[in-house]
Structure 1
Amino acid sequence: MPAPLAHDLLRDTTRFLLRQDSVEALCQAGLAFLAGQLDATLALLHLRESDVTYRLRSHVGEHPLLAVHELQVMEASWEAQLQAGAWISTPVPAPSWTGPAERNYARLGARHLVNFGLYSGPRLIGTVNLLFDCERPELSDLDVLGTVGALWGTLISRMQAQQEVAAREAMLRVVTEQGSHLLSVIDDQGVITYQSSASDELLGYPAEFMLGRPYDGAIHRADRPAVSEALAQLRREPGGSVTLPLRVRHAQGRLVWLEVNARNLLHEPAVRGIVIHLRDVTDAHATQRHLERRVQDLTLMHDTGRQLQLSRSVVDVASGLVQLIQERLGHPYVQVGRVLPDGSVQAVARAGGAAPSSALPPGRGLIGACVSSGVTLCVPDVRLDPRYVARHPEVRSEVTLPIRINGALWGVLNVESPQVAAFDASDVRALETVVSQAGAALGNVTLLDDLRRSRDELRAAYNETLEGWARALDLRDRETEGHSQRVTGLTVALARRLGMAEEELVHLYRGALLHDIGKVGIPDAILHKPGPLTEEEWQVMRLHPRMAYDVLRPIAFLRPALDVPYAHHEHWDGGGYPRGLSGEQIPLAARIFSVVDVWDALRSDRPYRAAWTEGQAREHLLVQSGRQFDPQVVRAFLGLLDELGDAAQEWP
């Protein structure tokens, strides 16, 4: 199977690892998930046991020789690469292999190996080896494995530390007053009956101050329902325990993240309470949040670059940018606005709230300030900024960034959040990268729009010139005045009915307009002769298709339209001119046009005869079907006439 896209692998693996709740799950389930994502035949995860040895902790897949790899001493060159943060993707057997033969991964049936390290900070704590039974050269592009290894190793180290703490706490029945962990005991009414001295450090309140108070006084309002529900359930389970995270407000006002381990000892006569251990995990939470936001920012930048490459218009770019930011960052209000010549800003795309009915006046609000200054504005609390113009009452923070095309201000990106200080420096940097990508994409689509506009204008000018030529030809040949315009529209309608591609219809249209261009070389004495032509005169008249070829062939723009001017006098049975083509040797465009051309000629007055009736003209087409005309084209044309009715006489 093909390797997943790098950003998908990073995102999905990160999400999976962050959901695991034990070292065992991180190792075994995490390895199984990654092996499944990359379709590995075997997968091995070793954790460092000493300075020189690594022990097999988890594996996916079975092989009789796996026991050989239970304890590994890594090659010095490979370990040096991993220590430096590199990762390895190589065919097996690797030409650089210098270790014992029995440990060569080729003995496990591998034909390709991917090896990367697990890191806790700068320290290498383990390795992951993914083995494949066929060569997988495409895996050499998965640079995200370095990021995966850093996250994975950090989570394993942190979980090991957490499990060690939990194990120590389980063995201790008496917690000393030393250290930074807080011990608290509450009665069955939720009132604090005991508080250790760590209360002052963790909460900023002395233990004596907390005694006799409700346990949830300092808990963040948003966390109180979950904590209350968990403790209510715990009260119904004597001896039971529960672990959960929560936020408390320190006496100095800052927010502190705590990990809470509570055990129901209400039934124990010596305790008569719920014993709660609280550990400060603010730094760990910040680290995890930083990792998550970094992955989020990287995913946003990658997805933005990929999606904007597919955009074909300004609205596509703006809408794609708005959608990605709202989906990836979760902010409810996102808008891309274009700066108009007078300095006002008109919304091009937005998410959240109704679109404004008119442009934002110059200099108004933070958007106007961004346009005036040309720099990014990030406001942690809009209630404190007099420039802010409220559009959504729940908004608390806002960031506005200029969008430039080749250095010139084009517009602004505006993102609003109901949270105070929702945008940190890394968010702003990520958004600045995104608007830079958007500016490049807007420059591309603007250039494409200009090119399309120029192309359309040039094409229209060409067509108007051709129509002028056609009118000039009709005026010269007074018998056929208006003939070119009539047959051109009807020819295109018939060709479309027969399923001709739209791009071919353009050439058919031009060829039909110029079908008699060769008559410019026919002397007026022959062209305007009121009576029948002599045989010698007919020989001259039959030269006009060849003259058309000679006139149009040197013009590259009109070369694809030559089929009609050059071949519309050929006959299905081979009796036409100038080349005597027959059947499907005659280009389809010419076969279509010849039917319409004769129909229009028969239905028009001539100096030497009156116009034929519709019935007479239909009969003539049927008689000549299979002789002069392609039978399939005749049937389609008569069906078209039936659909058009009287309108056929007014065509186009």
Structure 2
Amino acid sequence: MADSFAHDLLLNTTRFLLARQEPDSLCREGLAFLAEQLGATLSMLHLRESQVTYRLHSHVGTHPLLHVHDLQIMEPGWEALLQAGAWISTPVPAPHWSGPEERNYARLGARHLVNFGLYSGPQLIGTVNLLFAEARPDLSDLEVLGTVGALWGTLLARLQSQRDLSAREAMLRTITDQGGDLLSIVDASGVITYQSAASDELIGYPPDMLVGRTYDGAVYRADVPRVTAALQQLRGVPGGAVNLTFRIRHANGQLVWLEANARNLLHEEHVRGMVIHMRDVTASIATQRHLERRVQDLTLMHDTVRQLQLGRTSDGVAERLVDLIQGRLGYPHVQVGRVLADGSVEAVAREGDVRAAPLTRLPPGAGLIGACVQARQTLYVPDVLTDPRYVARHAEVRSEVIVPVWVSGQLWGVLNVESPRPDAFDRGDIQALETVAAQAGSVLANVSLLDDLRASRDELQAAYDETLAGWARALDLRDRETEGHCQRVTDLTVALARRLGVPEEDLVHIWRGALLHDIGKVGIPDAILHKPGALTEDEWRVMQLHPQMAFDVLRPVAFLHAALDIPYAHHEHWNGGGYPRGLRGEQIPLAARIFSVVDVWDALRSDRPYRRAWTAERALAHLQEQAGRQFDPVVVRAFTALLGEQGVQESA
């Protein structure tokens, strides 16, 4: 499944879950939302009720046998499979299903199952099962469901705790007829006419100090326009109500978040005001922001591995790391530096606005970066203007974090993040950057391993090709060919193949096939191979065996399978009169058709014991005469054009 779909699923599901305000809604509506997103036919959410049992809380879709799954018994080893952050995607029936047959999801018409756990910390508190009526191999890479399960479980546990706490508080207020909530009455002009006793404790001001003043004097100035607009709208709706959340500056200077329910009772004779019931939700807002921050961090961690793995080189990984931190965390100044052998640090990637500038290099131990390298641990400076070690990269920088990047246990480099605000990084920010740097280190380790493997592969391939070239030289010597024959026909064959549009990745196989075109002659007796006169009919039949011998020699070598066309088929003729298989026209592989023209050209242009070399004009005329008989006419025309570009046909 595409990365973009998984990313959108994580963000959309997260936003949806965070908007639920009570546990049952979180379970019921969250399950419906996720089932719709993935197209599940039947979905179930079970909550833990004992150490081994889970009770069905919510379901989407129905089935006559659904009641069988009201109570879910934990099978041995099942909880171990659903570790926090893990998930399961499997066909139904599962290949290794060992549970009771009546609980097999195949009986519910399912053909595919996606399952993940709801976790609150390390505790498994519930499970989600999504069933599909058809095979869904596209659901094999939804790692984000592990993240969704961890967030969902955390939210559910917190909302359950808040519900229990609210119930206890309601009971206490009923019993004692008092509580910590604040009640205010505001008249039509916005003046406070009543303030309950909780005012002193909640916002630090006694009731008599606020009565007779306008309500907006206590509201935090940034929230005044929003609160004023809400109350003005409410004033026009007798009996109407509105809910809003805003901040008030406590007498001690701290900001207090209040959740308010305001009702318009201006028309009531004994009230003549808007009654505003408020409670302190500062802790809840802080928790909500913590959860949002956690979601941001989880999303960043998920994206980091995905994005960095797209980098094919160390510099590419570093540039993606810079872009990721800038784009997802919003820090304006980001740089990745590589620690060199002498301890100096060279910038290899940095933010886009200075990316084109010349790379910088800090001497060993210089600046805050050098201090981080020497200490080999994260360094945070809340205000760089107070630290004499700071070396300015941007004039407006005030705070800086430098995080080491480790690759396979070795200090590879540093991640340097700067902000124009003093003390801009909290512990959560630093931990997020350390996690990202650790993930980058893992990816860089893989890139380094791949580089080593590529180098080893290239060295091995070079050794193979040098061996082939040695075989070709040995063949020339045994066959008493003119010096350099094999290399000449190889180079010219590759040039002609390129002119005919053969893909570059296939040219290496043509090169190897041309080098080994006469490898089969190792099986021809010297008496026949070096006979000065004409061959007898029997001797000629033996000579014609060498293409098949080449095939038999080379076929066991998997490395040379793609190069077999030339050694096996370069004596086939366009009109079907060649050997060993009598192939005709385009039955003959293109590589062999190309090589046969070049091979005859080089043979005619070389001295032989029984004749002198032909002139270029005469040899070319022979090729053109044999076009459509021995040779492919298209190849002959392309070869003629190639020789024309090289000026060969004019030479005598």
| 1:554-580 superposed Cα distances (whole Å, 9 cap, x missing partner) | 998778656545654454556657x57
Match of 2:297?
297
Specify which of 374, 377, 382 is matched with residue 375 of structure 1: 377
1:434-583 → structure 2 map (5 Å cutoff): 434-456=436-458, 459=461, 484=486, 486-498=488-500, 500-513=502-515, 515=517, 534-535=533-534, 546=546, 561=563, 564=566, 568-572=570-574, 579=580, 582-583=583-584
Q: Which runs of structure 2 are paired with 1:150-229 in the superposition (5 Å)?
A: 150-154=153-157, 156-157=159-160, 178-186=178-186, 194-207=194-207, 210=210, 215-216=215-216, 222-229=222-229
State how 1:36-51 maps to structure 2 within 5 Å: 36-43=36-43
The residue identity in structure 2 corresponding to 1:627 is: R
Amino acid corresponding to residue 535 of structure 1 in structure 2: A
Partner of 1:34: 34
* SS of residue in 2 equivalent to 1:404: strand
Question: Separation in 2 of the partners of 1:628 and 1:329?
Answer: 69
Label 1:368 to 1:131 Cα distance change in 2 as closer, same or farther (>3 A): same
Q: Quick check: 1:180–1:279 contact (8 Å CA) kept in 2? A: yes
Q: Is the 8 A contact 2:569 2:589 kept in 1?
A: yes
- Report the secondary structure of 1:535's partner residue: coil
Structure 1 residue 593 corresponds to structure 2 residue 612: no
1:284 aligns with 2:284: yes
Counterpart of 1:608? Answer: 612
Residues 149, 23 of structure 1: alpha-carbon distance in 2 compared, 3 angstrom cutoff:
closer
What residue identity is the alignment partner of 1:448?
A: L
> Unaligned 5+ residue runs, structure 2?
none
How far residue 406 of structure 1 moved from its aligned partner, in angstroms, is 1.9
Q: Give the conservation status (yes or no) of the 8 Å contact 2:56–2:71.
A: no
Letter in 2 for 1:405: V
Q: Deviations over 1:76-124 (max 9, x none)?
A: 879xx99x999999989998679xx9x9999976788888887889999
Write out per-residue CA displacement over residues 483-522 of structure 1, whole angstroms, 9 at most, x where no aligned residue: 5555434312333455545443213213434657899999
Q: Report how far residue 635 of structure 1 moved.
A: 0.9
CA distance in 1, matches of 2:377, 2:153: 35
1:332 Cα shift?
4.4
Alignment of 1:134-149 (within 5 A): 146-147=149-150, 149=152
Distance change in 2, residues 1:106/1:545 (3 Å): closer
Q: Residues of 2 paired with 1:566 and 1:76: CA distance? A: 67
1:590 Cα deviation (Å)? 3.0
5 Å matches for 1:85-484?
A: 146-147=149-150, 149-154=152-157, 156-157=159-160, 178-186=178-186, 194-207=194-207, 210=210, 215-216=215-216, 222-265=222-265, 274-351=274-351, 353-355=353-355, 356-362=357-363, 363-380=365-382, 387-389=389-391, 391=393, 397-417=399-419, 423-456=425-458, 459=461, 484=486
- The alignment partner of 2:358 has SS state of coil
* Counterpart contact for 1:491–1:592, Cα < 8 Å: yes
Distance 1:394 1:232 in 2: 43
Distance 1:626 1:119, change over 3 A: closer
- Cα distance in 2, alignment partners of residues 485 and 333 from structure 1: 56
How many residues get paired? 625
* Alpha-carbon distance in structure 1 between the residues aligned to 2:473 and 2:121: 81
RMSD, aligned α-carbons: 5.9
Distance 1:37 1:534, change over 3 A: same
Q: Distance in 1 between matches of 2:644 and 2:587?
A: 32
Q: 1:504 to 1:159 in 2, by over 3 A?
A: same
Are 1:627 and 2:629 matched, yes or no?
yes
CA distance in 2, matches of 1:111, 1:350: 49
Following TM superposition, by how much is the alpha carbon of 1:638 offset from its aligned partner in structure 2, in angstroms? 0.7
Distance 2:572 2:14 in 1: 70
Aligned equivalent of 1:649: 648
Aligned partner of residue 362 in structure 2, secondary structure:
coil
Q: Give the residue type in structure 2 aligned to 1:647.
A: Q
Residue pair 1:43, 1:130 contacting (<8 A) in 2 also: yes
The question of whether the paired residues in 2 share the 8 Å contact of 1:494 and 1:637 is answered with no
Whole-Å Cα distance in 2 between the matches of residues 211 and 391 of structure 1? 55
Return the letter of the residue paired with 1:361: L
Return the letter of the residue paired with 2:301: M
Equivalent-residue separation in structure 2 for 1:123 and 1:404 (angstroms)? 32
Would the alpha carbon gap of residues 112 and 649 (structure 1) be closer, same or farther in structure 2, given more than 3 Å must change? Answer: closer
- State the secondary structure of the residue aligned to 1:312: coil
Structure 1 counterpart of 2:490, one-letter code:
T
The CA distance in 2 between the partners of 1:468 and 1:618, in whole Å, is 30
Does the CA contact (< 8 Å) of 1:333 and 1:352 recur in 2? no
Partner AA of 1:611 in structure 2: T
Cα 1:537–1:231 shift into 2, 3 Å: farther
- Distance in 2, matches of 1:580 and 1:135, equals 48
Is the contact made by 2:345 and 2:361 (CA closer than 8 Å) also made in structure 1?
A: yes
Partners of 2:250 and 2:439 lie apart in 1 by 42
3-state SS of 1:649 partner:
coil
Provide the C-alpha distance between the structure 2 equivalents of 1:282 and 1:383, rounded to a whole number of angstroms: 34
Q: Is the 8 A contact 1:494 1:592 kept in 2?
A: yes
Residue 374 of structure 1 deviates from its aligned partner by: 1.1
Q: Percent identity between the aligned chains?
A: 61
Rounded to whole Å, the distance in 2 between the matches of 1:476 and 1:76 is: 79
